[in-house]
């Protein structure tokens, strides 16, 4: 009895499997072509990332753009010494932890930034004598790296330690601890998390020149001495029209030393206002940077320093300059985005869309809004529009889209009859809502 039941069972399973195999052969479609940079990067086995601070992450449309387009997050400010150890031995990882948790929930990997730097390091550290400073550095690295053990792809262990002429920067680190502080920092980091890639990170080292020669010699020496260094981060805070021609060759020579390379803080600034010619030039520059990295096996990915011009550091530090990132202030993709799209292997034009939000009528306590969705250069087959109501507005009735509300965050998706738009085609949806104190126009983002 038992045997025959078993035989019948086996037979049934075999038959079912045969049926499944047939079904699978007929019905499983080929993997869908990626529609985002994140998808392209995943498919290629490299990464595309952005930095984000907690404030930026709380900007709902920015967050949804970052989640959609990137598979790597660098914590923008919250892992720096002034944030994590503001006074001796008092560690605060709360803000950084919240970003780490959010990125992990979104399936993104993380770069830690940064452990030993001359900026954003509290006065109490800078005032220490040699022995105490060495101890503070060791303790800081040990505690912070151990806190994130097993959770980060990489750490920028030492940041910006070189002068432009290729000598070591005369920072308080260098002056008090001497040349050896860099090796000590890497050793301490390795001991606290053997799994994280340990990087040296700097700006103006993208092309072959005195400064990158200095870094090259340092990395070669560290490797010879068995110091645990795994990567070199080229920040790439670049200027329109000035991407070094030797960038690819420079990346290659570092890879040849036995480290990986990443572009860690890419932005390409221009004199404002941005107009078509400059934006086209910027796109060509983005192509050049992306090809320099992706053309070298061992250049593992590109991170931009913020994703949208809305959150760029550039205008506050270089007055009159900006527009440095692949998305504009309203989260619309710029030609630079299309350049990255193609460099990462995308074809057929990017499937993008733009949404514009207008209040078309407002009365005491109520309003009516219309959102127009316009496809980019390539036809699209569906769209999702996101925004957040920062002032307590609420939707009362809607048409031409499926709405989902999560607290202040609103998502509107196309319906069966209005998702397909040809190149440059557009459609509208709308709603009536309520408002109380204020009714500003929110930033909206569109994904296709
Ligand atoms: O984006 C960061 C900005 O919010 C800070 O005010 C600034 C302070 O130094 O640091 C910015 O990020 C820098 C990064 O940590 C290291 N490379 C240069 C970046 C731009 O200044």
Ligand 1 mean position, distance from CA 241 (Å): 22
The CATH code for residues 353-447 is 2.60.40.290
Q: Which of 67, 85, 160, 260 is catalytic?
A: 160
For the 37-343 domain, the top CATH level (class) is: alpha beta
Site to substitute for ligand 1 among 121, 157, 303, 305, most atoms within 8 A of C-beta? 305
246-261 confidence digits (pLDDT tens)? 999 999 999 999 999 9
With a Cβ cut-off of 6 Å, ligand 1 is lined by 76-77, 119-120, 235, 265, 313
359-384 confidence digits (pLDDT tens)? 999 999 999 999 999 887 667 889 99
pLDDT band at 5 (very low <50, low <70, confident <90, very high): very low
Query: Which atom of ligand 1 is the closest one to the Cα of 114?
Result: 15
pLDDT band at 121 (very low <50, low <70, confident <90, very high): very high
pLDDT band at 17 (very low <50, low <70, confident <90, very high): very low
Q: In whole angstroms, what is the distance from residue 156 CA to residue 315 CA?
A: 25
What pTM was computed for the model? 0.79
pLDDT band at 194 (very low <50, low <70, confident <90, very high): very high
Query: Which atom of ligand 1 is the closest one to the Cα of 120?
Result: 9
String of DSSP letters for 183-209? HHHHHHHHHH-TTSEEEEEESS-SSSS
In the prediction, which pLDDT does 348 show?
A: 67
Catalytic-residue membership of 321: no
pLDDT band at 401 (very low <50, low <70, confident <90, very high): very high
* Closest CA relative to residue 110, chosen from 289, 277, 303, 260: 303
pLDDT band at 356 (very low <50, low <70, confident <90, very high): confident
pLDDT band at 26 (very low <50, low <70, confident <90, very high): very low
Provide the pairing of β-strand 353-363 with 366-375: antiparallel
Catalytic-residue membership of 160: yes
Domain limits, the chain: 37-343, 353-447
* Atom 21 of ligand 1: nearest residue by CA position: 313
DSSP state of 35: -
Ligand 1 mean position, distance from CA 122 (Å): 15
pLDDT band at 354 (very low <50, low <70, confident <90, very high): confident
Q: What mean pLDDT is predicted for residues 7-35?
A: 47
Query: Which atom of ligand 1 is the closest one to the Cα of 235?
Result: 17
* Atom 20 of ligand 1: nearest residue by CA position: 313
Site to substitute for ligand 1 among 118, 121, 202, 313, most atoms within 8 A of C-beta? 313
Average pLDDT, the chain: 92
Ligand 1 mean position, distance from CA 83 (Å): 13
In the prediction, which pLDDT does 447 show?
A: 85
pLDDT band at 333 (very low <50, low <70, confident <90, very high): confident
* Closest CA relative to residue 384, chosen from 407, 406, 358, 415: 415
pLDDT band at 207 (very low <50, low <70, confident <90, very high): very high
Q: Which of 144, 206, 260, 265 is catalytic?
A: 265
Q: In whole angstroms, what is the distance from residue 399 CA to residue 415 CA?
A: 10
């Amino acid at each position: 009895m038992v045997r025959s039941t078993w035989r019948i069972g086996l037979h049934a399973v075999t038959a079912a499997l045969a049926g499944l195999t047939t079904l699978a052969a007929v019905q499983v479609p080929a993997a869908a072509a990626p529609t985002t940079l994140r998808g392209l990067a995943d498919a290629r086995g490299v990464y595309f990332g952005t930095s984000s601070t907690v404030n930026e992450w709380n900007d709902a449309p920015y967050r949804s753009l970052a989640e959609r387009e990137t598979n790597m997050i660098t914590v923008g400010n919250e892992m720096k010494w002034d944030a994590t150890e503001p006074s001796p031995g008092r560690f605060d990882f709360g803000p950084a932890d919240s970003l780490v948790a959010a990125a992990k929930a979104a399936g993104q990997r993380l770069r830690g930034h940064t452990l030993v730097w001359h900026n954003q390091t509290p006065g109490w550290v800078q005032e220490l004598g040699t022995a105490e400073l060495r101890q503070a550095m060791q303790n800081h690295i040990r505690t912070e790296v151990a806190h994130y053990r097993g959770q980060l792809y990489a750490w920028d262990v030492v940041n910006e330690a070189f002068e432009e002429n290729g000598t070591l920067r005369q920072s308080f680190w260098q002056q008090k601890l001497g040349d050896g502080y860099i090796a000590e920092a890497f050793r301490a980091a390795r001991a606290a998390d053997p799994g994280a890639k340990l990087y040296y990170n700097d700006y103006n080292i993208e092309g072959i020149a005195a400064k990158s020669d200095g870094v090259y010699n340092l990395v070669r020496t560290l490797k010879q001495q068995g110091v645990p260094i795994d990567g070199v981060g080229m920040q790439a805070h670049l200027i329109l029209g000035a991407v070094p021609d030797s960038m690819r060759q420079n990346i290659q020579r570092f890879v040849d030393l036995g480290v990986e390379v990443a572009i860690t803080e890419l932005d390409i600034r221009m004199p404002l206002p941005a107009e078509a010619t400059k934006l086209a030039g910027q796109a060509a520059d983005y192509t050049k940077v992306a090809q320099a990295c992706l053309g070298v096996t061992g250049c593992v990915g590109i991170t931009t320093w913020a994703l949208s011009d809305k959150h760029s550091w550039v205008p506050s530090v270089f007055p009159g300059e900006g527009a440095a990132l692949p998305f504009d202030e309203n989260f619309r993709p710029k030609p630079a985005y299309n350049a990255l799209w193609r460099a990462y292997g995308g074809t057929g034009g990017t499937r993008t869309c733009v949404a514009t939000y207008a209040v078309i009528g407002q009365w005491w306590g109520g309003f009516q809004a219309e959102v127009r969705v316009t496809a980019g250069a390539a036809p699209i087959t569906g769209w999702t529009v996101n925004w957040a109501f920062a002032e307590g507005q609420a939707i009362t009735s809607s048409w031409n889209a499926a709405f989902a509300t999560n607290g202040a965050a609103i998502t509107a998706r196309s319906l069966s009859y209005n998702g397909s738009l040809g190149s440059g085609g557009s459609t509208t949806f709308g709603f009536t809502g309520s408002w109380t104190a204020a009714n500003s126009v929110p930033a909206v983002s569109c994904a296709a």
